[in-house]
Chains A and B, each alone.
Chain A
């Protein structure tokens, strides 16, 4: 039983990171129908920038804030320089642009930073806590807590605030949104900033556990995408549940089957979801009216 509890804890930790990546996907997808494959690079940037500003002498909290702000800026730049000029292009083209952007960001990071793996100290020390007969790192609690907090904040944003509703209206019908006076360009910029900031936050939280290098983004983007698909693309609740489920599946597979198969789980899930229920757990069935 100890083993099971242990696997669940590690699954929840990894799952919370996937959930944060998936939430990032959700925001941009909601505003524009675009799946932003550079979401993983935002996580990497969050971790890398924190590492380098921290080593340059900034206190850790400040380094984290700088990293999140800079990454949000990168998100805005991505929208302004690559997505906005191509507005009107089919969604598939925009998605390909985000793949290109992710390659660019990865390459630039490799040049600006380096190719090593890095970490900075955990926020509340490395002393494991004993819970239900298993151990859990305090940093894991930060990660899980962070994911829950972001989820609640996003839920409030989308359901309670006018700006949040404007994002949903833009996703639903861009032209109609403009007609009622919504500045859809601003909505897009805001979505990219928010999504990049959430990605960076994930990077900051998880780096003490998993380390960060210039190329960690690809894997995270794919896992986050699998989580978002599993939960239902565009639904924050789906992103959270999908992320946690995927993390648990991975940890349990690694624990009870073989860690060889751990990586395969995400991809098997993507395939199964696409074949059996393309709308995911919480996504609505899409019907297009002509």
Chain B
């Protein structure tokens, strides 16, 4: 059964139909990529799935449960986490503290235990710290643990955001352009990280512009153009689809200037 089911999702902003009637499924352990030219509605789609926007139509189901427009903090508890194209990092905390924040839900215990620093509270804090260190090592940020997050490069912050999202132990992980701003080596590392994560049974939904990466790691690709799904299938099928080629390369005189954003 599909872990995440998106059914007929649509939203308009002041008469502009940003996304219209988009449906697809993501199974556990599967990597599904959403691609399309700039402005196709990929991030808007993500924002609806993760309840940042309330869709005008359609539903989102997680493990068969309707989660359409559930408050974001509840989604985290239900097992959905995400990263952002333009980063949502605790800039004034250290890298380690950012990762520890991801353990917020697992760390909660009685208030009085915290206040008197009782063993229970210290044990939970130590566990969160350990887990955070491990995740930072996995995304290659262990050496930056004590630095203030605001000082990190864009590519490093992208990876920090993935680490924080993984700390919440999600069942579904939405990654909005995880490789943007990363060099070739870093991209490959993120690539591996995503593949490994999927192997642990987490369903991954990806928006990415790096086509090589998308073709390499995706099990399934959904193509959007002008807010509508124009194609869907495995990488080989999608890359041969004439509609997809037209959307990316334009037809006739149009230049493909917007394909590489």
* A contact set with B: CB distance below 8 Å: 156-157, 160-163, 165-166, 169, 172-173, 175-185, 284, 287, 289
Residues of A within 8 A of B73 (CB): 177-179, 181-184
Residues of B within 8 A of A177 (CB): 73, 101
* B contact set with A: CB distance below 8 Å: 52, 71-73, 76-77, 81-82, 84, 88-93, 101-105, 107-109, 111, 114-115, 117, 150, 164-165, 167-168
Question: Do the beta carbons of B91 and A180 come within 8 Å of each other?
Answer: no
User: How near does chain A come to B9, taking the closest CB pair, in angstroms?
Assistant: 20
Question: Do the beta carbons of A180 and B114 come within 8 Å of each other?
Answer: no
Interface of A, secondary structure class, is helix
Residues of A within 8 A of B101 (CB): 165, 169, 176-177, 180
11 contacts between A and B (CB under 8 A): A161-B111, A169-B90, A172-B93, A175-B52, A179-B82, A179-B165, A180-B76, A180-B101, A180-B102, A180-B105, A182-B73
The 8 closest A-B pairs by CB, nearest first: A181-B76, A178-B72, A161-B114, A181-B105, A176-B88, A178-B73, A172-B90, A180-B104
User: How near does chain B come to A29, taking the closest CB pair, in angstroms?
Assistant: 14
> Quick one: closest A residue to B105, CB to CB?
A181
Question: Do the beta carbons of A182 and B104 come within 8 Å of each other?
Answer: yes
Known pairs A178-B71, A178-B73, A179-B72; A166 contacts B104 (CB<8 A): yes
Question: Do the beta carbons of A179 and B150 come within 8 Å of each other?
Answer: no
Question: Do the beta carbons of A160 and B76 come within 8 Å of each other?
Answer: no
A8 to B109, CA, bound (A): 44
Residues of B within 8 A of A161 (CB): 111, 114-115
Question: Do the beta carbons of B150 and A160 come within 8 Å of each other?
Answer: no
Question: Do the beta carbons of B91 and A172 come within 8 Å of each other?
Answer: yes
Residues of B within 8 A of A162 (CB): 104, 107-109, 111, 114
Contacts A180-B164, A181-B105 supplied; 11 other A-B pairs, CB < 8 Å: A169-B93, A175-B52, A175-B84, A176-B90, A177-B73, A178-B71, A179-B168, A180-B102, A180-B167, A181-B73, A182-B104
Residues of B within 8 A of A182 (CB): 73, 104
> Quick one: closest A residue to B81, CB to CB?
A179
Residues of A within 8 A of B84 (CB): 175
A176 to B52, CA, bound (A): 12
Known pairs A176-B88, A180-B102; A163 contacts B111 (CB<8 A): yes
Question: Do the beta carbons of A172 and B92 come within 8 Å of each other?
Answer: yes
Question: Do the beta carbons of A173 and B76 come within 8 Å of each other?
Answer: no
Residues of B within 8 A of A165 (CB): 101
Question: Do the beta carbons of A181 and B111 come within 8 Å of each other?
Answer: no
User: How near does chain A come to B159, taking the closest CB pair, in angstroms?
Assistant: 15
A184 to B111, CA, bound (A): 18
Most chain B beta carbons < 10 A, residue from A165, A181, A287? A181
